[in-house]
Structure 1
Amino acid sequence: MSKKAAVALIAMDTPVPEHDAAIQHVLGEKIAALLAIPFLGWQRPGERQDCYWVPDETVTSEQSRLGLGIANAEDFFGGAVPHAFMATKAISHPLIDKPARTPEGWCAAFHQRVASAVLQGYTVFDLQDARRAATLLLRDGPVRVKAVRGKAGRGQSLITDEAQLAACLAGQDAGEVAQWGLVIEEHLQAVATYSVGQVTVAGITASYFGTQRLTEDDDHQEVYGGSELTVVRGDYQALQSLPLDAAARQAISQAQRYEQAALACFGLIASRRNYDIAQGLGADGSPRSGVLEQSWRLGGASAAELFAVQALLGDPQLHCLRASTYESFGDDAPVGAHLLQRCQVKPHGTLSRYVKVETDARAQ
């Protein structure tokens, strides 16, 4: 089915944490089964070019992409952009006026295109800019300060006044901020987080929307707890053809606008796209909705995506299904779910990951 010789995992930057490496191995095996080619496990950059690659992160340079033999979206599971900051939530907001630092490749046109699809906020690459940006936003209500490489809801601080802001910024690494950026964003109340995305693998394009759930780790910190997705065979137009409520339709439209801007402004190449859209109430009580961030790599919903593709591949008549992932630091196994992994995640506790697919009439 694939023109590639085998499927291989590859770490693009820093070593992959053991628990993430293990689940990526499971998903790499699943992709190899879908493509009907061998699975090689982890490979090092430069070892070969004939693989269908599964990077642990978005590929963030032309040199890396070409070195892996990636010419288009059919050559890998994930995404590729020219600059590292483009792979993080840093792109979701504009720079403040007269910024102290602007990274190479920054595209103001992107923010003009997505202004109606994101929340109020700024991205900064300097701590003094962070102070200016947060002070402006605090006039209208609480804000969130987000490390742009944070995952699973970690690396965020809720700020309500200048004293909290000063303490938060004092704890930031100036070098990290200068290289990767920092997001200052309005805080919403009564929040629901949608996931909207699309994958193309093994000749199948599947698009989806759904909601995320939270779970508590052993430190009682709320983190990502999984996604429940409605998946359709086809593109976003097929997804929009479903009977949707207004909130879901708005989330899908905002994700589309964000993606179209990334394709136009960043030269995005991607076979896997996922967007988190927050809907809630602003400080003044008005409804707010916007894309928080993108994921053009293996992510928390990827098990649901790949098991859904397997179901669609196995039944050409199947059009719509429900696929869910679950992440838990407890022993509460979901009914009918398949255990993917159980491991220690230091210092947060024992993490269990599950996936569940429902193809009966109730999911359609």
Structure 2
Amino acid sequence: MIHAENRRIVIATSPQAEPAPEDACSNRELARWLAEIQGLEFFDGPPAERDPQRHYYWVPSETLVGREQARQLGVQGPLDLFGGYVEQAHQAGKAIVHPLIEQAALTPKGWAAGFAERVAPVVLDGHSAFCRQDAWRCASARLPRGPQRLKPAGARGGLGQRVVADADELEAALAGYDEADYLAGLAIEDDLGEVRTHSVGQAQVSGVLLSYHGFQQQNRNARGELVYGGSDLLVVRGGFDALLGLDLAAEVRLAIQQGRAFDRAASQCLPHFFASRRNYDVAQGIDAAGRARSGVLEQSWRVGGASGAELAALQAFVADPALQAVRASSFEIFEDKALPANARVIYRGPDRRGDFLLKYAMVEDL
């Protein structure tokens, strides 16, 4: 068990006013699991008043944004939470991956142009826009390259994404976004075919650092839609160098290197940024010209779909200090079934549309 202050309390919290019930329940279960792993007390919700004599470890459902939000929770650095902190709201979403179009009509407060320039070699070609006028100008100019993918910067799991191949499709797609979507940012990038998405990340909890590479899985939900179905991870004790020290396929090594470069840029270019949980989706596929492409799609500095697998690996490393590598998986399926004895259920119940959802995670043999 991790040695930690015995008066620390682990608490799940949601900056969102009304999170989806399955998300809120999943977040609480992950927080409960983190408390067990660290040997800490768990509170099933924030206290009415914070006790100045107690120390809190927060598990927020979203990246913390701004000093006031961090101050209210008493979060001062990565040791105080499982997640991350940014100064500006747009830094928590997909929009920071790409630069703005020249002479943009709207530039968000605190826009770090140097970050987009820094990560350009390790992301797909694209731009970001924060108003419909800029989105139209940008996407119109990019269409001769091939189909473009439009991605609302704050949406999860591919929600709201559209692929357009001509001006008519672009006009229809842009009409489907509201003012809030544009203010949060719209990422516009080359659409790829034959895509495989890699997960690259790190988590650090009470002195234990783990790094991983893995692949996302997809499942069909009760309505026949293809959605996120879990992550299969290869996890090592230590940093990205330890991960890169393994015998890896060339495309896997490239994905890890790109995720690491993006991570370093965030630490160096985003003022006051910190995170104890860092996850990067890296897409590899074929562009409209038939060329192989690889690049970071987005970052996640909060609990996410792979967090169950991360905690399963963390628990294994804590239980066996000599353990250096492990395979861990998270699952999201849409039917109930008997689970292996070592599986940890994160959520079992209805999703936001009333359909059955089961989330669980477990360590598997190497």
- CA deviation after TM superposition for structure 1 residue 226, in Å: 0.6
**SS at 2:224's partner residue?**
coil
Alpha-carbon distance in structure 2 between the residues aligned to 1:334 and 1:153? 28
Question: Which residue of the partner structure matches residue 217 of structure 2?
Answer: 213
- The answer for the alignment partner of 1:79 in structure 2 is 84
1:153 CA drift (Å): 2.0
Q: Return 212-221 or 288-297, whichever deviates more.
A: 212-221
- The residue number in structure 1 matching 2:120 is 115
String of CA shifts for 1:140-181, please: whole Å, max 9, x gaps: 111111111111222211112211111111111024312x11
Tell me: CA distance 1:260–1:46, structure 2 relative to 1, closer, same or farther (3 Å): farther
Counterpart in the other structure of 1:57:
62
* Contact 1:255/1:275, CA 8 A, preserved across alignment: yes
1:15–1:45 distance in 2 versus 1, CA, 3 Å: farther
Alpha-carbon distance between aligned partners in 1 of 2:139 and 2:230, rounded to the nearest angstrom: 30
1:341 paired with 2:326, answer no
Aligned with 2:22 (options 11, 14, 19): 19
The residue type paired with residue 31 of structure 1 is L
Matched, 1:320 2:322: no
Percentage of pairs with the same residue = 42
Name the count of aligned residue pairs.
359
Which moves more between the two structures, 20-29 or 152-161? 152-161
CA distance in 1, matches of 2:10, 2:156: 25
User: 1:213 and 1:348, CA in 2 relative to 1: closer, same or farther beyond 3 A?
Assistant: farther
- SS of residue in 1 equivalent to 2:222: coil
Pair 325,11 (structure 1): closer, same or farther in 2 beyond 3 Å: same
**Residue number among 125, 132, 139 corresponding to 1:127 in the alignment:** 132
1:300-321 alpha-carbon deviations (Å, 9 max, x no partner):
0001001100000001111101
Match of 2:94 in 1: 89
Between the aligned partners of 1:231 and 1:281, the Cα distance in structure 2 is 28
Matches within 5 A, 1:36-185: 36-43=39-46, 47-48=50-51, 50-178=55-183, 180-185=184-189
Task: Report the CA distance between 1:65 and its aligned residue.
Answer: 1.4
Specify the alignment match of 2:196 in structure 1. 192
Q: Kindly provide the CA deviation profile for residues 95-145 of structure 1, in whole angstroms up to 9, marking residues without a partner as x.
A: 011101001110111011101110011110010111111112211111111
Letter aligned with residue 343 of structure 1: G
Q: What TM-score do you get using the length of structure 2 for normalisation?
A: 0.94
CA spacing shift, 1:326–1:333, aligned 2, 3 Å: farther
Q: 1:330 aligns with which of 328, 335, 340?
A: 335
1:29 is matched with which residue: 11, 29, 32? 32
Q: Matches of residues 183-332 of structure 1 in structure 2 within 5 Å?
A: 183-266=187-270, 267-331=272-336
After superposition, the Cα gap between the structure-2 partners of 1:331 and 1:270, relative to the gap in structure 1 and judged at 3 Å, is same
Q: Which string of whole-angstrom CA distances, capped at 9 and with x for unpartnered residues, describes residues 54-103 of structure 1?
A: 11100110122133222221111100011111011111111011101001
Q: Does the CA contact (< 8 Å) of 2:11 and 2:46 recur in 1? A: yes
Distance 1:45 1:119 in 2: 45
Instruction: Give the secondary-structure state (helix, strand or coil) at the position aligned to 1:42.
Output: coil
- Quote the offset at 1:14 in angstroms: 2.5
SS of match in other structure, 2:64: coil
For residue 44 of structure 1, report the CA deviation from its aligned partner. 6.0
Report the AA paired with residue 356 of structure 2. T
Residue 13 of structure 2 corresponds to: 10
Please give the per-residue CA displacement for 1:34-58, whole angstroms capped at 9, x wherever unaligned.
2211100221686456211111100
- SS of the aligned residue for 1:184 comes to strand
In the aligned structure 2, how far is the partner of 1:271 from the partner of 1:347? 32
The answer to whether the 8 Å contact 2:202/2:277 transfers is yes
In structure 2, what is the Cα distance between the partners aligned to 1:259 and 1:318?
26
In the superposition, relative to structure 1, how do residues 154 and 46 fare at CA in structure 2: closer, same or farther (>3 Å)? farther
Question: Scaled by the length of structure 1, what TM-score is found?
Answer: 0.94
Mark the runs of 5 or more structure 2 residues left unpaired by the alignment. none
